[in-house]
Amino acid sequence: MSQLLSIVKECDLFPYEQDLKPSHYLLKTHDGRATIGHIIPTVATELLDKFPDFLTLKPSKELWINPKLSTESLRSTKIAEVASQLRQTHIEQFPTLKGWRAELYTAYYPNHTKYFQIERAFAPLLGIVMYGVHINGYIPASEEEGLKLWIPRRSIHKPTFPGMLDNTIAGGLGGGLDPLETAVKESYEEAGIEQSYIRHNLKQVGSVSYIYICQDEGGLIQPEIQYVYDLKFTKEMIPTPIDGEVQEFYLMPLGEVLQKLNNREFKPNCALVVIDFLIRHGFITAENEADYLEIVHRLHRNVGLPTR
């Protein structure tokens, strides 16, 4: 197995169907028609014990949302109540709640239809699909120099992956914003890039999807889809941290980027976005990467759940 495939597998950790030996529970909609999340046993035990009016255990390790929660509003209200109580009583057992942001994410069912809203820090406990926006900022190759990427180092005060390398700009998709508006907002907050430049130069180039398992959170299952953009920088443009989430930016040639990837210095999902960039720009090919096809496939996993 190549280094790059190993990096991809370290983020896309959840077994594929042929290898699946489920020990987790399936979160089902109130009508039982769809699976919308994956819940690990330790979380399921607490939810069933403390909140019997929220979930009901069915055969085949299915957890159905209470049928009485028949509207988006009722479900969102109940989930907010559950999340708030667990934050008060179980924050040490479920450390993800320490990253409470008062920021709402959305779960969907059917596709494109809002099913409930949920606090961002609580979402991993239900294993629902989470979304983000990731931007590759780069200076194109010239006659004198090769292509370079602007790579930030995350603040050491970040609740997740402090001090690791990241994509030029990245942020979760919440607060009712669409991907483009999120990209515009995050570009200024994280890198000081003005809205007018982003709107004229940002190029949407696809998505990256995977199912991560958060080992230091007891194995929480996190299906994620990232909207991916490329942004050309001029040589004169220098990203500047604004909101404190970035410690500093580095302008890296590709050789250094690959070295940092192999050293596991990137936040896991950001490593996937960088690999996707290198494939799209022709630096990783079927001719120089033995595991090319599997890498491409795993960068665009079908998460198997309803999506936005």
Report the CATH number at residue 116.
3.30.750.160
Name the pLDDT band for 197 (thresholds 50, 70, 90): very high
The Cα-based distances of 41 to 23, 78, 135 in angstroms read 7, 21, 35
169, 154: one domain: yes
The distance of Cα 137 from the centroid of its chain, to the nearest Å, equals 19
107, 217: one domain: no
Residue 110 Rama label (left phi>0; alpha psi -120 to 50; beta): beta
Name the pLDDT band for 18 (thresholds 50, 70, 90): low
148, 177: one domain: yes
Domain finish residue from 126, 146, 172:
126
174, 49: one domain: no
Mean local confidence (pLDDT), 120-147: 97
Model pLDDT, residue 301: 98
Distance CA 10, CA 12 (A): 6
77-90 confidence digits (pLDDT tens): 999 999 999 999 99
Residue 231 three-state SS: strand
pLDDT at 132 > cutoff 80: yes
pLDDT at 41 > cutoff 90: yes
Q: Nearest-CA neighbor of 237 among 163, 151, 145, 138?
A: 138
Model pLDDT, residue 19: 62
pTM for this predicted structure? 0.95
Percentage of the chain exceeding pLDDT 90 = 91
Tell me, yes or no, whether 292 lies in a domain. Answer: yes
96, 192: one domain: no
Mean local confidence (pLDDT), 56-70: 96
Find out whether 38 and 127 touch, Cβ atoms under 8 Å.
Answer: yes
Cis peptide bond upstream of 110, omega within 30: yes
Could you tell me the two tokens for 3?
């280094």
Rg for the chain, CA atoms, rounded: 20
Distance CA 1, CA 230 (A): 29
pLDDT at 50 > cutoff 90: yes
Find out whether 39 and 218 touch, Cβ atoms under 8 Å.
Answer: no
The better pLDDT of the pair 217, 25 is held by 25
- CATH assignment of the domain containing 267: 3.90.79.10
pLDDT at 216 > cutoff 90: no
170, 112: one domain: no
pLDDT at 20 > cutoff 90: no
H-assigned helices in 90-145: 123-126
Tell me, yes or no, whether 170 lies in a domain. Answer: yes
User: How many domains is the chain partitioned into structurally?
Assistant: 2
Q: Which residues are within 8 A (CB) of 128 and not within 5 positions of it... i.e. 6 or more apart?
A: 27, 36, 37, 105, 107, 118, 223, 305
pLDDT at 21 > cutoff 70: no
227-251 confidence digits (pLDDT tens): 999 999 999 999 999 999 999 999 9
105, 219: one domain: no
Model pLDDT, residue 17: 77
Q: Nearest-CA neighbor of 11 among 254, 221, 277?
A: 221
Model pLDDT, residue 219: 95
Distance CA 241, CA 222 (A): 28
Could you tell me the two tokens for 271?
């490593």
175, 194: one domain: yes
Domain finish residue from 70, 94, 126:
126
104, 153: one domain: no
246-305 confidence digits (pLDDT tens): 999 999 999 999 999 999 999 999 999 999 999 999 999 999 999 999 999 999 999 999
Pairing mode, if any, of strands 148-154 and 169-172?
Answer: unpaired
Domain finish residue from 126, 149, 183:
126
190, 277: one domain: yes
Find out whether 90 and 46 touch, Cβ atoms under 8 Å.
Answer: yes
HSE-CB at 1 with a 13 A cutoff on CA atoms is: 10
Tell me, yes or no, whether 23 lies in a domain. Answer: yes
Helix-strand-coil split of the chain, %, nearest 5? 35, 30, 40
pLDDT at 7 > cutoff 80: yes
Domain holding 213, by residue range, is 3-12+131-298
Tell me, yes or no, whether 159 lies in a domain. Answer: yes
114, 148: one domain: no
Name the pLDDT band for 159 (thresholds 50, 70, 90): confident
250, 279: one domain: yes
pLDDT at 173 > cutoff 90: yes
Distance CA 94, CA 257 (A): 34
